[in-house]
Amino acid sequence: MYDRILIPIDGSDAAENAIPYALDLAKTYDASLYTVSVVDAEDADDEGEKREAMYEEFETESKRMVEDLVRRAEEEDIRTTAGSIAEGKPHRAIRQYAEEQDIDCIVMGTHGRRGILYPLRRSVTEKVARRANVPVLMVRLGKDES
């Protein structure tokens, strides 16, 4: 059913919570696990050298997260790619990466937010799920974790 499973990671509790589900799904279907971390340069609001330093820090941390996940997958004998770092708006970069890599399923963490302001701050996960061309498994944080 699934040959290529993608898990985008950003260091959040929600993303960390989704990792065991992605690993289990990959193991169950004997699928390859792909991982991507997106560096959003727009998050670095400052100009010049400070912006460059922030971007480099984001990129370094993203590489570390990707390498850690690849190692975890390999420890469980799950086929992986080297992992990727993408740039841009996270929801767009994730969808683009999924299309380029012919991904069958995307596994993402979500906070399960609700409330009157929710429509104004939709999550990256929701934006990916609404526009992706493949199934998106959204793993919600537990009550004590959100």
Q: Which fold has domain 4-140?
A: Rossmann fold (3.40.50)
pLDDT for 33-60, tens place per residue? Answer: 999 988 876 655 556 677 677 778 888 8
- Domain positions in the chain are 4-140
What is the model's pLDDT at position 122?
Answer: 64
Instruction: Report the percentage of the chain scoring pLDDT > 70.
Output: 82
Taking CA atoms, 94 is separated from 91, 114, 136, 144, in Å, by: 5, 23, 12, 28
What is the model's pLDDT at position 104?
Answer: 96
Secondary structure (3-state) at 139: strand
